[in-house]
Structure 1
Amino acid sequence: MTYGSADMSESAGAKSTLASTVYQQLRDDLLRGVFESESKLRVEWVVSRYGAGASPVREALNRLASEGLLGRHDQRGFFIMPVSAPDLEELTRTRCWLEERALRESIANRTGEWEEQLVLALHRLARAQRRLPEDPSSNNPEWERLHRAFHRALIAGCRSHWLTGFCDQLSDQASRYRLISQEGAERDEIGEHRLIAERAVDGDADGAVEALLNHYRLTAAMCMERFNESGDHRVGKALRGRR
């Protein structure tokens, strides 16, 4: 019985590891806009693409659906969540609401350690290249990781794991729009991030919030403009209809 229990435990651990691997790979592809919006994701197709069994694939798909990166039809499987101008507007507005509260709380409760971590996150982001040197049209995954770390450091002192969790979820959705649109060519991004950090470290809550919300709204506006220019069928029609 002991050996059987050990074998079952190892098997469960292997499935969990596979599910985590599929989850991360599929999540990255979803955020980068690899798949067609609103297209179906059949379990068999995902199994074939990512080289994993049906059980870990279903676990990964369910996890992504719970995070809002996939939709789910009863008895009909999973599908890629659609993108649209109204959704981007709502997403940006909601993200601004929540992160304003999180940033104000972080500044109100700031410590020396929080300030150091924020300055360090800014320094690392400033040293990273936004685009891949060998492919200037592609975003650098390391920059994306450091960018996320900077924004996470901003609100890390809010003392609410619920609030940071909601902010993380909205950040994922915003990143998806930004990566699909390939936004980010004509702006002083590091200057925007530096202004946010400097005001936060100085304890200027109103100024830091203003800089952060301007940063998010500019990103959304540039995403919409890029979609409008390209005529991307995923949101381009909606954008033209709203102008």
Structure 2
Amino acid sequence: MADKLAENNPVDSSTQNETLASSVYQALLDDILAGKLIPGHKLRLQALKNDYNVGNSPLREALNRLSANGMVVREENKGFRVSPASISELQELIRTRCWLEEIALRESIRNANDQYDERIVLAYHRVSKLALSNGSSYSSPEQENKHREFHQSLISACNSKILLKYCEQLHEQTLRYRNLAAVVQYREGHEGDEHRAIRDAVLERKADIAVDLLTSHYKITAEIVISSGSLSQT
């Protein structure tokens, strides 16, 4: 469970509620992504208020935001639960992520310039320098952030904030599955080769190859998660 959130005396109650809502939203999101709040877990308001040291109004706002991005579900007259996790949903998430990121990647390559190339090269350099002990997954926040930054750099020139927002939501949802599956041996070093191949295809403006490599990259991840045996069928 995340550390309790400290409340400050408000100067403006509306501003404070918004700040607290953002803080508790991020704390709840982190705990859901990390698997600390497991799929189907009943989110009881009083318990959450105690655990996160937050009032009713910002807590409800945070839960509504989590519901909007699919991390929790709101049940009529029953409150909130952490969204369930299943093989069928993961497969749908991966299909949708591949569809959207293909569009974003092709547009980014079409709009490519020196700034775009530099962003990719720098992000790849950072992620490739991370020492993944014994071929393990991106288990630390630093590792996961660098991994996320590399994937964000690939689609950063698509010129659509809306598309990038949806891609980010799908990234978070698939990250939850990876963490839930507790994949320890992650690709045994092959993921670095995949990143390098994607980088090279993008920098060489080989859009078809880059798309094939990126979507294959995501599908392999899904196969590893499914093979872990930690998910239900539906």
Q: Percent identity?
A: 41
How many angstroms apart in 1 are the aligned matches of 2:174 and 2:39?
A: 15
Question: Partner residue of 1:44?
Answer: 46
CA contact 2:33–2:175 (8 Å) conserved in 1? yes
Unaligned runs of 5+ in 2: 1-8
CA shift in 2, pair 1:143/1:186, >3 Å:
closer
1:153 has 2:170 as partner:
no
Equivalent residue runs for 1:154-193 within 5 Å: 154-183=154-183, 185-187=185-187, 188-193=190-195
Q: Which runs of structure 1 show a deviation greater than 6 angstroms over 4 or more consecutive aligned residues?
A: none
What per-residue deviation string (whole Å, max 9, x for no partner) do you get for residues 27-67 of structure 1?
A: 01111111231121011111111111111111111111111
Residue identity in the other structure for 2:181: S
How many angstroms apart in 2 are the aligned matches of 1:206 and 1:104?
A: 8
How many angstroms apart in 2 are the aligned matches of 1:204 and 1:159?
A: 19
TM-score calculated relative to the size of structure 1: 0.86
Question: Partner residue of 2:4?
Answer: none
**Number of residue pairs matched by the alignment:** 223
How many angstroms apart in 1 are the aligned matches of 2:53 and 2:153?
A: 35
Q: Which of 216, 219, 232 lines up with 1:217 in the alignment?
A: 219
CA contact 1:118–1:197 (8 Å) conserved in 2? yes
SS of the residue corresponding to residue 83 of structure 1 reads coil
CA-CA distance at 1:217 after TM superposition: 0.4
Structure (1/2) with the larger helix percentage: 1
TM-score calculated relative to the size of structure 2: 0.89
CA shift in 2, pair 1:130/1:47, >3 Å:
farther
SS of the residue corresponding to residue 71 of structure 1 reads strand
Equivalent residue runs for 1:1-243 within 5 Å: 10-130=12-132, 139-183=139-183, 185-187=185-187, 188-226=190-228, 228=229, 232=230, 235-236=231-232, 238=233
Residue identity in the other structure for 1:116: E
CA contact 1:183–1:219 (8 Å) conserved in 2? no
CA shift in 2, pair 1:150/1:184, >3 Å:
farther
CA contact 2:197–2:213 (8 Å) conserved in 1? yes
SS of the residue corresponding to residue 91 of structure 1 reads helix
CA contact 1:130–1:140 (8 Å) conserved in 2? no
How many angstroms apart in 1 are the aligned matches of 2:122 and 2:141?
A: 19
Highest Rg: 1 or 2?
A: 1
CA contact 2:137–2:186 (8 Å) conserved in 1? no
CA-CA distance at 1:149 after TM superposition: 1.1
CA shift in 2, pair 1:143/1:15, >3 Å:
same
What per-residue deviation string (whole Å, max 9, x for no partner) do you get for residues 82-106 of structure 1?
A: 1111111111111111111110110
How many angstroms apart in 1 are the aligned matches of 2:27 and 2:210?
A: 34
